Amino acid sequence: MKISRPFRFSALPLGTAMATLMLAGSLQAAVTFTVTDNVPGTSAIDLTTTLGSVSNVPGALPALTYTLTNLDLTSVGGTATNQIVFRINFTKTGGTAVAYNGTGRIAVSGGTDTNQIDPSETLTGTLSLISTDFSGGLTNLSIGFTRINLGGYATNDTNVDIIHDGGTINKDGTGLADVSFDPSSFVTIDTVASADGVNLGAYDIQITAIPEPSAALLGGLGLLALLRRRR
């Protein structure tokens, strides 16, 4: 009587295994895009994005909500018309409220200068993802500030700490216009050692969508198992 021998696994050469996994992983790459609000207190015409479109005006302070539509996330397992909703919650210390000043920039009312973030006040913006129809869900999305623009300051009489996830950037009035940093979930503007204030005039927000667990990678693992199995 012939006895069937059970399946056994043989070792696959390391180079072949690594090449298979690298090929599978390379089939899908994260999609990263930027949303810019040039003048937060005005209209949607000041909102731009490098992917899809911003479908609504953010609204009233202290919480601004943005809806992004027609996002092509097919390369990471989504669709050509995905949607993402995110929010910036603004909080302050000192003053009386977070408010728009006369030119649509964000400031803290009260204090020494009602249209600025003055030395007795701070302003913090914190990002959060609210909802999405992307198949990877919120856990496969990341969001962070990458640039802010400050205005309303005196070149020779302003010093500001810009605090974010990576630490603190200190700028005097000669370098305040645009400040960039690695993606950060929050940014705090703290005017220090100065008789003059600043206001928040614009910001860039970076969103990254990554594959949910990558179908390509799972396929690669299946291929490895197939190659290793023999009778």
Q: What is the amino acid identity at position 66?
A: Y
For residue 18, being part of any structural domain is answered with: no
Element (H or E) spanning 226, and its range? helix 215-228
**Cis bond before residue 40 (omega within 30° of 0):** no
Q: Is residue 216 part of a domain?
A: yes
In a domain, 138, yes or no: yes
Cβ neighbours of residue 8 closer than 8 Å, sequence gap 6 or more: 229, 230, 231
Question: Is residue 12 assigned to a domain?
Answer: no
Whose CA is closest to 192, among 126, 117, 99, 107? 117
Of 38, 129, 32, the residue nearest 71 (C-alpha):
32
Q: Which domain holds residue 121?
A: 29-230
Is residue 148 situated within a structural domain? yes
**∠ Cα 81 83 87 (to 5°):** 160
pLDDT per residue, tens digit, the chain (231 aa), is: 444 444 443 444 555 445 444 544 444 799 999 999 998 987 777 899 999 999 877 788 999 999 999 999 999 999 999 999 999 999 999 999 999 988 889 999 988 888 899 999 999 999 999 999 999 999 999 999 999 999 988 777 788 999 999 999 998 888 888 999 999 999 999 998 766 789 999 999 999 999 977 544 554 555 455 545 544
Q: State how far the Cα of 193 lies from the Cα of 189, in Å rounded to an integer.
A: 13
Determine the Cα–Cα distance for residues 90 and 40; give it in Å rounded to an integer: 12
Between CA 42 and CA 45 the distance in angstroms is 8
Q: 0.95 exceeded by the pTM?
A: no
φ, ψ for residue 227, nearest 5 deg: -65, -30
User: Is residue 158 assigned to a domain?
Assistant: yes
CB-count exposure of residue 38 (10 Å: 0-12, 13-18, 19+)? middle
- Predicted confidence at residue 143, as pLDDT, reads 98
Q: Are 96 and 104 in contact (CB under 8 A)?
A: no
φ/ψ (deg, to 5) at 81: -135, 40
What is the dihedral sign for C-alpha 63, 41, 138, 92? negative
Q: Is 20 helix (H, G, I), strand (E, B) or coil?
A: helix
Answer whether residue 9 is part of any domain. no
pLDDT reported for residue 195: 67
CA distance 56 to 102: 22
214, part of any domain: yes
Provide the domain count of the chain: 1
